[in-house]
A and B are shown apart, each in its own frame.
Chain A
Amino acid sequence: MTVLRLFRSRAGLIAAVFAASLISGALLFLLPPPVHEVSMLMEVRLSTIGPYSEQLTWTVRQTIESGALNDMIARKSGLKGPKDVPKLRAKIMYATQLIKVYAFVPSQDVERTKTALVSLLQVLNEGFSEEDASHTRRVSLAVEKAARLEKAKKDMDARLDKAQLSPDMNKVSGELTAWTRDLSGMLREYWDVIQDAQTLHTYRIKMVSPPAVSDSPEGLSPLQVLIAFGLLGLMAGLSAALWSEDRKK
């Protein structure tokens, strides 16, 4: 057995590498400040779940992760600049519209990160609602226009009904009726399109759970240091022993 033989012949070397690994693990555990996870859960709300729902959530996620909003977040939360905004990560909860936004930060940055997360929500709502508002304006104008056309059509129908028409005029009136029928059909389609567009754009981003700090800091516990660096030391020690044996040969 290779391992047993190595333990017998190169015990000192293996023990030395093992100890060095444990010491470096202990240093890694003691030196850096503890890091906490600060996270917030939000929902990208749509009036209906449609084929674009997932796409939209991904767009929001990518926008957050790219850091494109950091400048606005910094301004909103009173930070010096975008560099002061912690690295924000976002994760879409499977088969939902929920997005978890989180960052790993040292203890002293926890409050700053919470503020940044709240600001992020405001920035998102303002940014996305601007587009929403302009679209709503366009939709309202179109709806007003369609309503005027429909009213004109109804008036025309009423006047044609009242009028005493000659046979020739009756024929023209028939054509006019057919034309107004087409107009009605077109208006119905127009309404459908408008409603679809409204469905796509009537969303807003809502906070589900406010920014919170994880119960325990992220990082290594003493037991984890012992396991991970113990294994690392053992394997490195065995490799060193094998290498030294080969070299001697």
Chain B
Amino acid sequence: MPADRADGIDLSSFLIAVNAVIAAAILVLYAVRGPNDYVGTYTVCLSLAFAAQNFFFLLVTGRRPNPFLLLLVVHALVFYELRVATLLWEPWSMVFVRNSFGAADLGNGLLFVILSNFAIFFGVTAHSEKYADPAPLAGDGRASVRLLLPVLLLNIAVLLEFNFKALSALKGYLGIFLNADILLLFSLVVMVLYYDVMSKRQKALLFCSIFVFIASRTVSGSRSAMVTLCFYLFCVWFGVNGRVLFRKKLYMALLAALPVAVSLFLFATAVRSPRLQLQARTIFDRIGFLDMSSEVIANRLPYSAVINFEHYFKSVVDSGLTPGFSVFEAPKAANLLSFINNGMPAVSLKAVHENYESDMFTVYAEPYVLFGPVWGLIAIFAAAFLFQRAYRSLAGRDLFKLAVFRATLLVLFYTYFLDSFGIDWFLVDMIRFAVPFTILLFLFAKYAQYIPNHRSGASK
């Protein structure tokens, strides 16, 4: 795509500036507003160390692009470092009030986050420097793109997300494999990989379909449509181009898009709960993943009743392997934290269905509860290392499939590793998505691109 040129600014350089702004905001807010019930001097000092760590990671990934490291830093900046600033601004959190929680607990949580990020850093960079990085993928110049199938499937999937009565019968069957998120990811791969060979009409059609996706998600009350799109685009872009270089204007547009994303969030919230009065603290709370990590770490003992491998096994059997019936009546662990906080540890699938709430464990809190602090860090390192090794070992002659696999691995790293809702959640989703992913990959690889003298999976 045209923005990815040698004269562009690397995303890591842009993030260095963002990191500096957030660190400065923490210092200024601490000086002006002073410590509070959740953020003490220790946490502020740790957050400076955290900012220095992010800076170092950005320097490393600026030198040698590493998608995992870049995702880690984006995640750390937006959901962790920024949270210290917002807590200094408004010490309010829906998570901290679930149990007894104070500034010392937040400090301990942030310290474990810093140590875990070291473990992830070592995991995703643990390869020989002589070892070549995955090469960028250039779309085949002879190829032509056929957009009928991607656009048609994406729009049907979006349509099915609305609960139209007329489509309810269709939804039952088509909904199994027409997954809108998978279709969006594949359509973005087509767009980024074959942008140069697409006609103006095709580009316009694809952009319109993506717009329809965002609009429909927002109208139906989902608050993360824009974020999902940006995140998928990042993963696809990195998978195809090997690094993210944008022109200055695009960074300006990204900054300008921030109010749009906030407006969409407010609108979707209004659609979801018309009576709810949304305030800044609600948004800060929603993007404060540091709260979840620190709170689960601070209350490891009660949560270990459901965050354990025995429960994971039971919930995977009930939610993923037994369609229509259950063996153990064990809901997914992430659905049970709210019940534990309300003093109801043993609940059924039906109770969860009636009072649905899911709580994120994050990459930091889950290993801490499962293995303890030291073995938890080793487990985090091992998982990060496996992601990096799998990404580097991806190979194949079909560029589309290779780009899809790379992008998918990055999506998995972010969605199920950094933002973990539990290993059981990950396994259940893998079971659910395996079939639609395989079918759609086959369809897209076969029909969405046409390369003369080329058979999918065979040599060109």
Q: Which residues of A contact B (CB under 8 A)?
A: 1-3, 5, 25, 28, 35, 87, 89, 91, 93-95, 100, 102, 104, 218-221, 224-225, 227-229, 231-232, 235-236, 238-239, 242-243, 246
Contacts and interface: CB of A to CB of B under 8 A. Distances in A.
Q: Is the interface of A mostly helix, strand, loop or mixed?
A: helix
A28 B41 CA distance: 10
14 contacts: A1-B122, A1-B126, A89-B91, A93-B97, A104-B34, A219-B40, A220-B41, A227-B46, A228-B46, A229-B49, A231-B114, A235-B52, A239-B59, A242-B60
A89 B52 contact: no
B222 interface: no
Given A28-B45, A91-B91, A228-B48, 6 more contacts: A93-B97, A218-B103, A219-B42, A231-B49, A238-B56, A239-B56
B377 to A, nearest CB: 14
A102 B53 CA distance: 33
B36 interface: yes
Nearest to A238: B56
B45 A220 contact: yes
The 7 closest A-B pairs by CB, nearest first: A94-B97, A235-B52, A228-B45, A231-B49, A232-B49, A239-B56, A224-B42
A242 B59 contact: yes
A228 B59 contact: no
Nearest to B99: A94
B111 interface: yes
Interface in B236-272: none
Contacts of B63: 242, 246
A25 B45 contact: yes
Interface of B: 33-37, 40-42, 45-46, 48-49, 52-53, 55-56, 59-60, 63, 91, 97-98, 103, 107, 111, 114, 122, 125-126, 129
Contacts of B46: 227-228, 231
B107 A218 contact: no
Q: Which of A95, A220, A239 has the most CB of B within 10 A?
A: A239
Contacts of B41: 218-220
Contacts of A224: 42, 45, 107
B34 A229 contact: no
A221 B40 CA distance: 12
Q: Is the interface of B mostly helix, strand, loop or mixed?
A: helix
A218 B35 contact: yes
Given A228-B42, A228-B46, A229-B45, A239 B52 contact: yes
Nearest to A227: B111
Contacts of A219: 40-42
Contacts of B114: 231
Contacts of A35: 35
A2 B57 CA distance: 11
Nearest to A94: B97
Contacts of B91: 89, 91
A28 B45 CA distance: 10
Contacts of B48: 228, 232
Contacts of B125: 1-2
Contacts of A235: 49, 52-53, 55-56
Q: Which of B33, B41, B122, B125 has the most CB of A within 10 A?
A: B41
B34 A231 contact: no
A102 B45 contact: no
Contacts of A221: 42
A3 B33 CA distance: 37
B126 to A, nearest CB: 7
Contacts of B55: 235, 239
A86 to B, nearest CB: 10
